Structure 1
């Protein structure tokens, strides 16, 4: 089914993101994994113990098109880095969370003629080579510094074959209204925690040519893959397995991805819950083809009106 997914993905066009991404010379992709709970009798779905089993879907997602590109199903204990390493291809800008920050793996991405944007822990070690000047746009975006460094401690410098760039962003936790104090709450250890509103985000990339605030904007759009996981589980209902074998779960996952791509190609936008419900009503005989087409046309007209 992978060739079919690749063919459908090729036919999709970019979503109306900011114009600044149009000249990007690589495919901006997010990669992550999500767990699908399995039954205890599914012995292949190794996870925590015999009673808690799960499968894992490893997904490669085109951020600018809003579509899945590649997926694999394994047991929950399979390494996400190992799976991505087997799927690496040239010409991609991989946008990854902190779980993929292994330095030798980042070097493997470079060897495949691709690039990366990865989140680091705030206590990451590095040796400063150059302090890059920040533009006014960078400062307004909350960027505190932009540096060229050798990443890692002295003993791990050789894990990356070239210097990289780290960027630190200051941001505020949007879950707390600005100007209002946080209320403390007791933790499980009967202590009180008062998290700071002000937080920092540390990003590493090998792309030296892109503005710092654009790098941060790309990482912000990594969240699109998390939204797709919610659509996959909560709307398509793929957290409810129709088969118990690994091949059966894989078939269900691929069918769901193909359905998502077909809806995306038909509507010209990311699938929504209402569109999925309308398609289901049509197949059940509760809606006519004319009503379904009218719904699709309304979506397209709303898309065209957006700035």
Structure 2
């Protein structure tokens, strides 16, 4: 039987050690480590994400039990206090940089979104709250007696990868973060009415960025000419409009969803896109809702191992790195399994010595029936 390293060992090979160490040297605070390292911290927290560990004690005991299978990875035993101190004090910016490098590799393998034939990239923008105890996370002020963090994501529609990520206190409005993002010229941004800001719409238009959103019911608009041509099924009205206090021409598309029998009014600055495609783009926004639901159900982004902003961000970035690892394995190996199926198989076999691809092959069925018994006499 051929020798195989553990499944975990095969996974972390995605991260070249020399690149990782260069980032560790760049993003370091305080004195040098003696026996612990940023690599040990990363392997421990990545393992916690992939195996579903919820506490520092759980992580340390799990790693100690598998010490003989981790030695060749360069990970030595460590205590809860050591891991906790690293999470609190070592800059989370290192894992943000690591995430961006892995994101570039994933984007080069990600399948193109075949539902749309557009020249520009499509990004789905949204934010989601993560409830926190205000007494333990005082920086996460949301309401007078409630704490929360807000996770801001810009999801690339090609492969559904988190291309833009930020985390703030819960009271931070989404539009403040959206204004800081630099979108590629010619790209399409899809977001809900929570991002309504006419001056931002104008900035996007001036930057050559297209957007699709829903128009508020109390919006003050000046109607313009109707778009000519045959309307697609579901399109009730397609009209150019002016927004109050904003320069430029925009477009309102009224659309009837036959499945729900609900009428929507979409707003866009793309004057040449078919009305049905405008509606289809906004429907695609549902994918970011599914993304938030997936990471909250399958990764550790609701309970945290530390209370400081740095500790929370460290755990968040490593959780997103774990998501990219799953996506990278799926794209590179061209697996037909869902992300959840891949994660479940990894959880059961993370420390097993077997070929990674062998996890996803169906078991071979041995034929125990004598073919001669089936012959007709």
Which TM bucket (shorter chain)? 0.7 to 0.9
Partners of 2:256 and 2:325 in 1: CA distance? 39
Q: What is the aligned partner in structure 2 of residue 108 from structure 1?
A: 203
Residues 1:276 and 1:45: Cα distance change in structure 2 (over 3 Å): same
Q: What is the aligned partner in structure 2 of residue 289 from structure 1?
A: 354
1:233 is aligned to 2:296 = yes
Q: Secondary structure at the match of 1:47?
A: strand
Question: Residues 144-174 of structure 1, C-alpha deviation per residue, up to 9 Å, x if partnerless?
Answer: 000011123xxx2xx2x21011101112564
The TM-score, its normalising length taken from structure 1, stands at: 0.78
Q: What is the aligned partner in structure 1 of residue 15 from structure 2?
A: none
Which protein has the larger Cα radius of gyration, Structure 1 or Structure 2?
Answer: 2
Given that residues 210 and 268 in structure 2 are in contact (C-alpha distance below 8 angstroms), is that contact kept between their aligned partners in structure 1? yes
Residues 1:60 and 1:170: Cα distance change in structure 2 (over 3 Å): same
Q: What is the aligned partner in structure 1 of residue 121 from structure 2?
A: 27
Alignment of 1:177-256 (within 5 A): 198-256=261-319
Question: Residues 60-87 of structure 1, C-alpha deviation per residue, up to 9 Å, x if partnerless?
Answer: 1101321110211110001110101111
Residue from 106, 111, 120 that aligns with 1:14: 111
| CA-CA distance at 1:249 after TM superposition | 1.2
1:169 is aligned to 2:232 = no
Q: What is the aligned partner in structure 2 of residue 77 from structure 1?
A: 171
Partners of 1:259 and 1:7 in 2: CA distance? 15
Given that residues 151 and 164 in structure 1 are in contact (C-alpha distance below 8 angstroms), is that contact kept between their aligned partners in structure 2? yes
| CA-CA distance at 1:12 after TM superposition | 3.1
Residues 1:295 and 1:133: Cα distance change in structure 2 (over 3 Å): farther
Residue from 111, 128, 150 that aligns with 2:223: 128
Q: Unmatched 5+ residue regions in structure 1?
A: 175-197, 299-307
Q: CA RMSD in A?
A: 2.1
Q: Unmatched 5+ residue regions in structure 2?
A: 1-95, 363-377
Alignment of 1:33-52 (within 5 A): 33-40=127-134, 41-50=136-145, 52=146
Q: What is the aligned partner in structure 1 of residue 184 from structure 2?
A: 90
Partners of 2:198 and 2:361 in 1: CA distance? 48
Question: Residues 256-286 of structure 1, C-alpha deviation per residue, up to 9 Å, x if partnerless?
Answer: 111111211211279532211111212144x
Given that residues 139 and 309 in structure 2 are in contact (C-alpha distance below 8 angstroms), is that contact kept between their aligned partners in structure 1? yes
Partners of 1:134 and 1:47 in 2: CA distance? 49
Residues 1:260 and 1:270: Cα distance change in structure 2 (over 3 Å): farther
- Structure scoring higher RCO (CA < 8 A, sep ≥ 6) equals 2
Q: What is the aligned partner in structure 1 of residue 346 from structure 2?
A: 279
Given that residues 66 and 270 in structure 1 are in contact (C-alpha distance below 8 angstroms), is that contact kept between their aligned partners in structure 2? no
